[in-house]
Amino acid sequence: MLNFELNENQRMIADMVRDFGAKEITPFRKEWDDKQIFPKYLFKKLGELGLMGVLVPSEYGGSGFGYMEYVTAIAEVSKLDPAIGLSLAAHNSLCTGHIMTFGTEEQKQKYLPKLATCEWLGAWGLTEPNTGSDAANMKTVAQKEGEYFIINGAKNFITHGYSGDVAVVIARTGEVGDSHGMTAFIVEKGTPGFKGGRKEDKLGMRASETAEMIFEDCKVHESQVLGNVGEGFIQSMKVLDGGRISIAALSLGIAEGAFEASVQYSKERHQFNQPISRFQGISFKLADMATQIEASKLLVFKAADLKNRGEKVTLAGAQAKYYASEVAVSVSNEAVQIFGGYGFTKDYPVEKFYRDSKLCTIGEGTSEIQKIVIAREVLR
């Protein structure tokens, strides 16, 4: 059964992130956001704290924690800067998670220690310019030639697509639309024919790099295949089941950050000779925000608990991601309203939470895709 008390590790992680963030994140987040700076050096420091390999077993140089600690880490980082939380989630859940779950012992020994310390930053490539939710119709193709696969095509909206040191890439090795016609490959930066492309100019999450990955006759040895040929899409769906929990945690952190700023501001801001928190119009907003956040938290930690116990998380992960991401948007929207004119300026953090929150309803499966997943599961 779910234990609602934070365990000792979770408390330690929360304290560590707050201390680290006060020095290394909060003072710089406005500049990173304004100038779209991706602070790659910061992730090396997060690697030293053990946050880039939270779920990686200690024998591969990771922290060896479970999903409870993992969602705590993401939520706490996202309270400070959601863009950093997003990069943390993508590195841990997608690239590292895929290799950890489906890699051979040799592949794990080779890549996990580098990823867990963030000596190497990870990227994960499924989405393409013409296939977002419709991943089975991908155009990136890998053709077998002797011991090698030759990859041609492009991926877009890839976190760390340009700066990543190693990527897990899904390419088509069979027929279009065949869910067993795709294969996952580990491709290192510097492999001839593989390069980062255009960096996206985004509404929010501007300190998290989103870019294209381009493959032109990129030659990858068969030893770089993850699992079996033809299993890439099936693997990806399993990776996304866990990845959705991390986006739910990211959403939770955004909502908590926007809410905490709103509570503080509503006590400090005076109108008509009293703090605005005393007005029912404001206090009822805070009541709704607090309740929605609590419900998000329960869904997120329920999904994390199931994942820890090795249970199927397709339904719980989709519900947590769908609900928490919509709450992040709604709570940050109300936060801007509570701040009034100041909420519309960059002098206060809520406009950034507002912009950053929208990605959560889109990335790793839109809210509409989550509803399809949820409906399919409840109608089984």
**Residues annotated as part of the active site:** 364
Q: How many Å apart are CA 165 and CA 190, to the nearest integer?
A: 8
3-class DSSP state for residue 35? helix
Q: How many Å apart are CA 265 and CA 200, to the nearest integer?
A: 33
Q: How many Å apart are CA 30 and CA 17, to the nearest integer?
A: 18
Q: How many Å apart are CA 262 and CA 277, to the nearest integer?
A: 9
User: Strand 166-172 and strand 122-125: pairing?
Assistant: parallel
Q: Which two tokens stand for residue 276?
A: 């605005």
3-class DSSP state for residue 271? strand
Residues 6+ apart with CB under 8 A from 60: 53, 100, 108, 109, 112, 113, 116
Q: How many Å apart are CA 100 and CA 94, to the nearest integer?
A: 10
Residue with tokens 């309803």: 361
Do 370 and 322 touch, CB atoms closer than 8 A? yes
Q: Which two tokens stand for residue 171?
A: 């390419």
Which of 86, 100, 54, 71 lies closest to 316 in space, CA to CA?
71
Residues 6+ apart with CB under 8 A from 273: none
